[in-house]
Amino acid sequence: MIVAGVTGAAVAVGVAWRAWSDDARRTRRVLRKATVIPISELVDGQLACVVGRVERDGALIESMMSRTECVAFDTITHVIERDDFSSPVSTKAMRVAVPFFVVDATGRVRVDAPQAALCNKPSARGSNWVERTIAEGSTVRLVGSVVLDPTVAATAESPLRSNEKGFREITWTATLTGTKKFPMLIDVERR
């Protein structure tokens, strides 16, 4: 009886540890601890955490498994290599995202990261796959590299207006990016 209780407790601890140490949960914990920077205060070349509402930049895409329209999806599939189940299970991830905007109270940033790693709760799952999606209009928390591109402000008076010092007025267009090696991390913000 004591052995069964100890075995049951060990199994429960193992299941709890596996759920707690899941990649998506671990990434979500890291994102929660990151300091949020307002979009208007982004600096070129920095790694920044931004929170805002998702707006489309063009056409939406359809997720692979659930066929949901979204701006990004992350589908993880577990594949058994042989029929006799003697080989290990391999994991394949398919990450797809189209460019979109994130808007907060201070500004707007373009997100261009085709390799975005989503860590929100799964939107759909099957026996051997899990899919996460980011829908238009949702509020997200994301971390990515900042790229600022200068743009010349055009006005009704003159296409190249100058300020008092004789310089053209320049505004900055901010873009957050990620790479395959260092993908952008995205989570749906909980209220």
Answer yes or no: do 165 and 75 share one domain. yes
Residues 69 and 55 in one domain: yes
Number of domains present in the structure of the chain: 2
43 and 19 co-located in one domain? no
Q: What is the structure's pLDDT at 31? A: 78
Question: Which residues span the domain enclosing 6?
Answer: 1-33
- pLDDT tens, position by position, 53-89: 999 999 999 999 999 999 999 998 888 766 666 666 7
Answer yes or no: do 9 and 23 share one domain. Answer: yes
Whether residue 73 sits in one domain with residue 142 = yes
**Backbone torsions φ then ψ of 44, nearest 5 degrees:** -55, 130
Q: Do 73 and 160 fall into the same domain? A: yes
Which conformational region is residue 181 in: left (phi greater than 0), alpha (psi within -120 to 50 degrees), or beta? alpha
CA atoms within a 13 Å half-sphere pointing along the CA-CB vector of 190: 7
**Residue 156 pLDDT level (bands cut at 50, 70, 90):** very low
For residues 19 and 90, state if they share a domain: no
Name the percent of the chain lying above pLDDT 90: 39
Q: Are residues 67 and 149 in the same domain?
A: yes
4 and 62 both lie in a single domain: no
Residue carrying the six token digits 């899919």: 131
Residue 42 and residue 181: Cα distance in Å, rounded?
A: 22
